[in-house]
Structure 1
Amino acid sequence: MVNALLIESCDFVSFPIGGQLSFARQMMMAFGNRLALVGVSTDDTPVGKWIKKDIDGIDYDYFAFAHRQVRGKKPSIPARITGYLAVRKFNKQILSKGIKCVFIQSPEILIAVHTWGWRSICYCFPGVENPLQMPRYGWGKMFAGLYEKKLFSTLRNVDTILASADDEAIADLVDKSCGELYSERVIKFPTRVDTDVFKPLDKNVVRAELGIVQTDNIIVSCGRLNLVKGWDFLLEAFKVVKRSNPYTKLIFVGDGEDRQKLNDKAQELGIESSIIVTGFVGADSVVKYLNASDLYVVGSLKEGWSVAMLEALACGKPIVSTAVSGARDMIVEGANGFVIDGRDPKQFAEAMNSALALKEADKVSLGIADKYTLKNLAIDLGKFWKPLA
């Protein structure tokens, strides 16, 4: 029996790369076809009608509201705008299933559908920062205030609000809402990690499979390559690390519109021979790169509760991160890594060198990851949202 719609601007398989797709797939693993999926088509899935679609061996009721091309380039029109318009276009068709409960992560989707007469809406903030404060499109910043006002007013129609963020970030969100939200209404709900997939593997074996030199220090960062992820900052810090650790490589696991800019910056800094960009790879390869590493790094300007950071923890890796939401919950200072305030490349590099020398980081990281295992997701969400109890 289908209990709820899951509406997301993704194909629920591999596009687009990021935390929202990861959490959508975690929802699918936890609830299976108790969810009907409303997303996009990146293959021959027809747009505009309900079909049965097999994903990972499970038949889902599936509705594609738009077709998307899988490419690294930034689209000329923001995906948030085209997604908003496409969902609204198919109002009647989406509702024709008669499902009256919906789970949403994307703010533009929530704004598009919140007046559709739902019995219950669960909205999960994938991160509580205003995305238009640091937009992919420069002109987007002029609409940041309007967007925030609209989102907060829309939340009046939502009965369950979750936030993949730490307590400090949630408090800031409540303050910004100008009375629309209060702290008791926003439930701290971290993302999860699949510890059946992301787990320790033999470092020597995976390095041999990936063609990585056994004696090198390997530093890894995962995710979409755009400026919000701070790849430029990581390159600056890595250049400092290379002075004391010459046999060190930095591997970016992922792809994105800034890939060429990253390569150009690495060449400008004279470290291009020590930088590897994998392009898009699946989870089976991501787990190998994590296990091949000696250190995981996060240089982001903002994050929700980082799924990639959880995956690194589940592989037993130390982490050095900027002070993004959730970092201090996942990193015990000096035990399994360091959280760095500010954006001083030298300070970050010092922390990277210190983290490479930590002796018991694996045990600490694995213990923290165990608190956020996917195995608990169904029970934990059911406590707060009755349709999936």
Structure 2
Amino acid sequence: MVGDGRDLHHEAKNGDCLVNENRVLIEPIDPRRSKPGGVDTCIRGLIKYRPDDMDLFIVGVDAVGDAIIGEWRTEMLDGRSVQFLPVYRADNTVMRPRVPHIAQLVWGVWKYRKKIKPDTLQTHRITTGFAVRRFFRKPNHVQFIHNDGDDSIKLGNESYFKKFTGLFRFLEKRAVRECSDVVIFNSAAAKRLSQWGDTVRFSPTWYDDEYFYPAESSAESKRTDLLWVGRFEETKDPLLAVRALSEAGPDYTLTMLGGGSLLQKTKDLASELGISDRIDVVGPVEKRSVSDYLRRHSALLMTSHHEGFPRAVVESLACGLPVVTTAGGEPNGLVVEGVNGTRIAERTPASTADAVRRVNDVASADAIASVELLKATILVPFVLGRETPAMEELR
């Protein structure tokens, strides 16, 4: 049952002429408690900016600890209602619990499957998608893919599939062949997976212009106050950012937002290099606070080994900050050398520092213009299967 006592089914409107699509999104999230990461932010954007003819239902985790497991409830998020069915209880900010979140989620979906009656299923991990497609045969299935699996396996250290590449390829191929729609936030992955079917489509990441917009002051200044946003893990390489700041010179400062296992090591490295007074490791902050930090800085530094279509880059450009990025930090060609940022030639402190110094010549107006079409109001309907006139300009 949903929160108001109705079974999950088509809801007729305007004299039974129009019928809303009921889309059930299965992911270990709790709409009442945000967590770091692009998937959580993506889903919250989908809820907020979904078309009026679509009702979203979330099947996920009770991360707060006070919900009745297996009972639908109504939640409000940014003024939009969403039906929420928690099927297990856990702290979903723990990346590697004893029992993986996906295993707990899939078991919960199986246990309460009779309460889930979707028109469309949507999943954000191919493992989850493969499993739940076996539980619900009739509805359309939409699979979102947020990273290039090749990069995650070859360059990352967090993928469960590093030793099981063949299994990962199998799951990717089945997703393309079994799903009615596969939305991929990485251009290389979209091109690679397109060989297995015509259901694959690429989409950029969006930004929420209610929160991410330029500072009121339009005066250009020397871009010496840098911002770094991400998880303090090897794949994001915060240590390269610290070493690059040491190379860049005494005029440069760096603020770092996020949490993770390398946070203390990052502080220790700054101390060893004698630049602790120029680096502010803030730690985790609320997502909406990131926009305030962006408007107080003049450039974003991305040092990741690999990304999908990083939201931090899009949000930074929307706030008027050019982006200094490694090849993996922005792999889709959005950041163009000398136009809206600079690209780091080699993963070395010297090369990174050189790119940091070059970004001073990039205008904020050009950064803003480069993401004008990446607003949530434009892209969210598109990724949810609704065409918008502005999308023709992105093709």
The question of a shared fold, defined as TM-score above 0.5 by the shorter chain, is answered with yes
Query: Structure 2 CA distance, aligned partners of 1:100 and 1:220?
Result: 43
Deviation at 1:285, TM superposition (A): 1.6
Q: 1:8 aligns with which of 9, 22, 27?
A: 27
Task: Name the stretch that deviates more: 257-266 or 81-90.
Answer: 81-90
Q: 1:145 aligns with which of 166, 185, 188?
A: 166
CA deviation map 1:44-78 (0-9, x unaligned): 2233322222333433210112323266x653437
Measured on the aligned residues, the alpha-carbon RMSD in Å equals 2.7
CA deviation map 1:96-115 (0-9, x unaligned): 23213112212222122122
2:285 aligned partner, one-letter code: V
Query: Structure 2 CA distance, aligned partners of 1:57 and 1:153?
Result: 37
TM-score by length of 2: 0.82
Deviation at 1:9, TM superposition (A): 1.9
Change in Cα spacing, 1:265 to 1:100, as seen in structure 2 (3 Å) is same
Q: Which residue of 1 aligns with 2:368?
A: 366
Q: Which residue of 2 aligns with 1:100?
A: 119
Query: Structure 1 CA distance, aligned partners of 2:141 and 2:337?
Result: 38
Query: Structure 1 CA distance, aligned partners of 2:362 and 2:222?
Result: 17
Change in Cα spacing, 1:76 to 1:266, as seen in structure 2 (3 Å) is farther
Q: 1:123 aligns with which of 134, 143, 151?
A: 143
Query: Structure 1 CA distance, aligned partners of 2:337 and 2:223?
Result: 25
Query: Structure 1 CA distance, aligned partners of 2:230 and 2:109?
Result: 31
Q: 2:382 aligns with which of 376, 380, 384?
A: 380
Q: Which has the higher helix share?
A: 1
Instruction: Tell me the percent identity.
Output: 23
Deviation at 1:279, TM superposition (A): 2.1
Query: Structure 1 CA distance, aligned partners of 2:302 and 2:147?
Result: 16
2:30 maps to 1:23:
no
Change in Cα spacing, 1:111 to 1:382, as seen in structure 2 (3 Å) is closer
Query: Structure 2 CA distance, aligned partners of 1:139 and 1:303?
Result: 17
Q: Which residue of 2 aligns with 1:193?
A: 207
Query: Structure 2 CA distance, aligned partners of 1:149 and 1:70?
Result: 27
1:373 aligned partner, one-letter code: K
SS of the residue 2:190 aligns to: helix
Deviation at 1:302, TM superposition (A): 0.7
Q: Which residue of 2 aligns with 1:89?
A: 108
Q: Which residue of 1 aligns with 2:274?
A: 270
Q: Which residue of 2 aligns with 1:62?
A: 84
Change in Cα spacing, 1:140 to 1:98, as seen in structure 2 (3 Å) is closer
Residues 173 and 193, structure 2, Cα contact 8 Å, conserved in 1: no
Deviation at 1:239, TM superposition (A): 1.3
SS of the residue 1:334 aligns to: coil
Query: Structure 1 CA distance, aligned partners of 2:339 and 2:24?
Result: 41
Residues 219 and 248, structure 1, Cα contact 8 Å, conserved in 2: yes
2:208 maps to 1:225:
no
User: Which stretches in structure 2 are left out of the alignment for 5+ residues?
Assistant: 1-10, 12-20, 388-395
2:68 maps to 1:46:
yes
Q: Which residue of 2 aligns with 1:340?
A: 344
Task: Name the stretch that deviates more: 248-257 or 284-293.
Answer: 248-257
Query: Structure 2 CA distance, aligned partners of 1:203 and 1:217?
Result: 17
Query: Structure 2 CA distance, aligned partners of 1:280 and 1:14?
Result: 14
Query: Structure 2 CA distance, aligned partners of 1:133 and 1:45?
Result: 39
Q: Which residue of 2 aligns with 1:283?
A: 287
Deviation at 1:95, TM superposition (A): 4.4
Q: Which residue of 1 aligns with 2:358?
A: 354
Change in Cα spacing, 1:269 to 1:325, as seen in structure 2 (3 Å) is closer
Deviation at 1:191, TM superposition (A): 1.4
SS of the residue 2:74 aligns to: strand
CA deviation map 1:306-354 (0-9, x unaligned): 1111100110111111113754532221122112243122111101011
Deviation at 1:268, TM superposition (A): 2.8
1:109 aligned partner, one-letter code: T
Query: Structure 1 CA distance, aligned partners of 2:351 and 2:297?
Result: 21
2:124 aligned partner, one-letter code: Q
Residues 192 and 310, structure 1, Cα contact 8 Å, conserved in 2: yes
Query: Structure 1 CA distance, aligned partners of 2:213 and 2:235?
Result: 28
SS of the residue 1:372 aligns to: coil
User: Which stretches in structure 1 are left out of the alignment for 5+ residues?
Assistant: 205-213
Query: Structure 1 CA distance, aligned partners of 2:186 and 2:377?
Result: 20
Residues 340 and 370, structure 2, Cα contact 8 Å, conserved in 1: no
Deviation at 1:384, TM superposition (A): 6.0
